């Protein structure tokens, strides 16, 4: 009986994953998040602990952007503190007419894009989008992210951080917007979230 219930539960998960349509938010054509992310150097140090992890703020950070993709995680040490990544776009990458022409995906902790015909130069795509590892500061903020979908227009404020533990494990945010290789993602401790979708 127990094995039957487990099999049924797995079947339901698979059916929902493959057949339940993803919620996607669309906006009229035009740039919806015109400004670049704002990064501000800190005065003094700002450090705190959460469970086994030690956090050090590297810079204040705020961003208004479209969500190009969302990828949830439940396995691995990183998922204990960052349960999902958001691929974010601003400037031309917040324009629905541009977004619609680009195939955007995420796998593992990476963000990828491709297009048969580029609607804007590749460099502009890279400079106006990023994969961001999201760390909600508490359960209230994490719950608000339940209403964030592909296409959502959001604004977030908090800190780019470095995280360590006593075993020598370390995870460090990028502090540049023009890097594209390993380590180029922002590691974002989110203290405020605004969702602009109606």
Q: What is the pLDDT of residues 85-104, one digit of tens each?
A: 999 999 999 999 999 999 99
pLDDT: which is higher, 39 or 111? 39
| Mean pLDDT calculated for residue range 41-55 | 92
**Is 25's pLDDT higher than 90?**
yes
Can you spell out the DSSP letters for the chain? -HHHHHHHHHHHHHHHHHHSPPPB----SSBS--SPPEEE--SS--EEEETTEEEEEEEEEEEEEEEEEEEE--SSHHHHH--EEEEEE-GGGGBHHHHTTSEEEEETTEEEEE-SS-SS-HHHHHHTEEEEEEEESSHHHHHHGGG--BT-EEEEEEEEEEEE-TTS-EEE----SS--STT-SEEEEEEEEEE---
- Give the pLDDT band of residue 198 (cuts 50, 70, 90): confident
- Give the pLDDT band of residue 1 (cuts 50, 70, 90): low
- Give the pLDDT band of residue 84 (cuts 50, 70, 90): very high
When the pLDDT of each residue in the chain is averaged and rounded to a whole number, the result is: 90
- Phi and psi at residue 147, to the nearest 5°: -100, 10
| Mean pLDDT calculated for residue range 114-118 | 95
- What number of other Cβ atoms are within 10 A of residue 193's Cβ? 20
Q: What is the pLDDT of residues 12-24, one digit of tens each?
A: 544 544 455 789 9
- Give the pLDDT band of residue 33 (cuts 50, 70, 90): very high
pTM beyond 0.95: the answer is: no
| Mean pLDDT calculated for residue range 27-54 | 95
Q: What is the pLDDT of residues 161-180, one digit of tens each?
A: 999 998 999 999 999 988 87
């Amino acid at each position: 009986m127990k094995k039957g219930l487990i099999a049924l539960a797995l079947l339901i998960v698979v059916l929902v994953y493959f057949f339940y349509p993803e919620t996607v938010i669309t906006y009229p054509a035009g740039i919806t998040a015109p400004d670049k992310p704002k990064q501000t150097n800190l005065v003094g140090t700002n450090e705190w602990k959460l469970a086994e992890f030690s956090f050090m703020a590297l810079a204040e950070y705020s961003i208004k952007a479209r969500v190009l993709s969302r990828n949830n995680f439940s396995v691995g040490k990183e998922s204990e503190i960052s349960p999902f990544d958001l691929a974010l776009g601003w400037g031309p990458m917040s324009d629905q007419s541009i977004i619609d022409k680009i195939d955007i995906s995420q796998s593992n902790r990476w963000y990828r894009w491709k297009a048969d015909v580029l609607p804007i130069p590749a460099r502009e795509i890279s400079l106006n989008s990023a994969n961001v590892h999201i760390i909600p500061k508490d359960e209230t903020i994490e719950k608000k992210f339940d209403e964030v979908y592909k296409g959502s227009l959001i604004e977030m404020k908090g800190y780019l951080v470095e995280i360590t533990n006593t075993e020598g494990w370390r995870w460090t945010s990028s502090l540049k917007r023009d890097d594209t290789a390993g380590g180029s993602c922002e590691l974002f401790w989110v203290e405020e979230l605004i969702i602009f979708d109606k």
